[in-house]
Amino acid sequence: STSPHRTPVLSPQLISDGSVVCAEALWDHVTMDDQELGFKAGDVIEVMDATNREWWWGRVADGEGWFPASFVRLRVNQDEPADDEELGTGHGGAGDGGAEAQSSKDQMRTNVINEILSTERDYIKHLRDKSSEGYIRQCRKRADMFSEEQLRTIFGNIEDIYRCQKAFVKALEQKFNRERPHLSELGACFLEHQADFQIYSEYCNNHPNACVELSRLAKLSKYVYFFEACRLLQKMIDISLDGFLLTPVQKICKYPLQLAELLKYTPPQHRDFKDVEAALHAMKNVAQLINERKRRLENIDKIAQWQSSIEDWEGEDLLVRSSELIHSGELTRVTQPQARSQQRMFFLFDHQLIYCKKDLLRRDVLYYKGRVDMDGLEVVDLEDGKDKELHVSVRNAFRLRCGPTGESHLLCAKKPEQKQRWLRAFAREREQVRLDQETGFSITQLQRKQAMLNASKQQALGKPKALGRPYYLTRQKHPALPASLPQQQVLVLAEPKRKPSTFWHSISRLAPFRK
């Protein structure tokens, strides 16, 4: 059986035999590289080439490309049973056909239940070996190397997760029907333990800090040797510490996919149907919150990267107050005196609106021109016609009025629909700020510092060069493998056998915000 942290194992033979192999996305793969396949959590991807263990080639509705194999879960049931209607119609053998379809569906349900149980057992063993008996235990013996606070940063609340998962797997075992596995009722277990799964949120929020701390320690040879010794001591030949720490993040995102497949093979009259349906909804909410936070934390690298590409930047860094680009586009700014109009690029983040001027010759170069504080700001929708304050005719205009300072900005869009998009974006910005206050989302100083450091290193190095395609990827239509790790793993240490890259891709100046 496979450990839950590992890249799913897929035999390339299966694909070359002409079988359609489907995988489901554990989380979003956001990419700005046109050779890579972007997708959202839950999307179904047809895997077309799995020759390379870490990067697979696949297809979704709107394109093909490379994607990291560790971002997906292979479906347990690759061969769909024929629909009951098809088997049930026709003459003579209708009854037999229906029974055959049902037994096929029962088998499918058994397969999913077996996968849920075996991955849970593996996961518990994995957590026990690596935390309570592995890395943490050894680290605690070395107070000269690790403070308690450091251990909290690296391992988060993984020991609490271990305790909760032990109780959860025990409950699953009790509900497992050994004689007739398809009759097992697992939905109730998920519902009874749904509150416990909230502790994953704390773990996932801390995970980027763990990666930053680990990459700091990886520069010191005594820590590298120490972690390697722990790994060999536990005979954990296949996994480094950073890989182990990613496991709970993958695990919580895998539950909705497993439950969705379980629900698919649970007939409505099954005693487990209502509970599986409710459990799927509950686990989707948990995973969605975590996926959203993960995406936001990864965004900060892109924001730092963007800021470092802007010429003549003034004032505090964007990341001091902002962590999300909400909308961007070109607007005309009308200013006093003589109602002068200037074309400017505007970028709306949570808490602030930044405006820049394009270089006349090099259109991808932007010069910083100013910012507007969005807190305590009033957005006024203006009618087409003469503006009362500046005595000038305007179309598709709105005014931003800053309460405390009395300062005001008159802005015009080219088209009415662009103006509407901006007005909706301003409403979304306020909603985002409210939600962040409600859920306590914030960026730590450490994460901010690391993102700015990554961006300045990247500026100094220029764009990374793409790697040549590995010789065994012979299909002509496949472009070169991505030059480096995807952004989801930008803070995750590279395994010793890989050379870590400073940043995850070549990136054009405004690429982070391409619509």
Task: Give the domains, in start order, of the chain with CATH numbers.
Answer: 21-74 (2.30.30.40), 106-300 (1.20.900.10), 318-459 (2.30.29.30)
pLDDT, tens only, 73-117 = 888 777 654 444 333 333 444 445 667 777 788 888 999 999 999
Q: Name the residue with tokens 């004689």.
A: 179
As a whole number, mean pLDDT of residues 380-408 equals: 87
Question: Of the candidates 93, 54, 46, which has an alpha carbon nearest to the alpha carbon of residue 74?
Answer: 46
C-alpha 55/C-alpha 418 separation (Å) is 39
Q: What is the gyration radius of the CA atoms in the chain, in angstroms?
A: 27
Contact 491, 211 (CB under 8 A): yes
The answer to whether the Cα torsion of 394, 398, 400, 403 is positive or negative is positive
Q: Is-contact 239 70, C-beta < 8 A?
A: no
Q: Which residue has the higher pLDDT, 496 or 212?
A: 212
Distance separating alpha carbons of residues 23 and 288, to the nearest angstrom: 19
Is a pLDDT exceeding 50 seen at residue 466?
A: no
pLDDT of residue 343: 92
Positive or negative, the CA dihedral 145, 146, 147, 149 is positive
Structure confidence by residue, pLDDT tens digits, 28-82: 776 656 688 888 878 899 999 888 888 899 999 878 888 888 888 888 777 654 4
Contacts of 302 (CB under 8 A, 6+ apart): 325, 487, 512
**Could you give the count of Cα atoms lying within 13 Å of 38 in the half-sphere of its Cβ?**
7
Indicate if the pLDDT at residue 508 is higher than 70.
no
pLDDT of residue 374: 94
Q: Do the beta carbons of residue 349 and residue 372 sit within 8 Å?
A: no
Specify burial of residue 85 (Cβ count, 10 A radius: 0-12, 13-18, 19+): exposed
What does the pLDDT read at residue 111?
Answer: 92
pLDDT category at 227 given cuts 50, 70, 90 is confident
Best-predicted range by mean pLDDT (41-55, 82-96, 444-458, 471-485): 41-55
Give me the pLDDT at residue 97, please: 61
Question: Residue range 248-260: average pLDDT?
Answer: 88
Task: State yes or no: pLDDT of 301 exceeds 70.
Answer: yes
CB 344 within 8 A of CB 369: yes
What pLDDT score does 18 carry?
Answer: 66
Specify the residue for token string 């391409």.
Answer: 514
DSSP 28-54: -B----TTB--B-TT-EEEEEE--SSS
Q: Find tokens 């505007």 and name the residue.
A: 346
Which structure tokens are listed for 247? 């496991």
Q: Is the pLDDT of residue 119 over 60?
A: yes
Of 43, 44, 51, 42, the residue nearest 14 (C-alpha): 51
DSSP string, 198-232: GHHHHHHHHHHHHHHHHHHHTTSHHHHHHHHHHHH
Across the chain, mean pLDDT equals: 79
Contact 52, 37 (CB under 8 A): no
How many CA atoms, within 13 angstroms, populate the side-chain half-sphere of residue 59?
8
At residue 488, the 3 state secondary structure works out as helix
461: number of Cβ within 10 Å: 11
Mean of pLDDT values over 155-164: 91
81-84, Cβ contacts within 8 angstroms, sequence gap of 24 or more: 81/105, 81/108
Which is more confidently placed, 449 or 147?
Answer: 147
Tokens 């496991």 — which residue?
247
Q: What is the pLDDT of residue 321?
A: 92
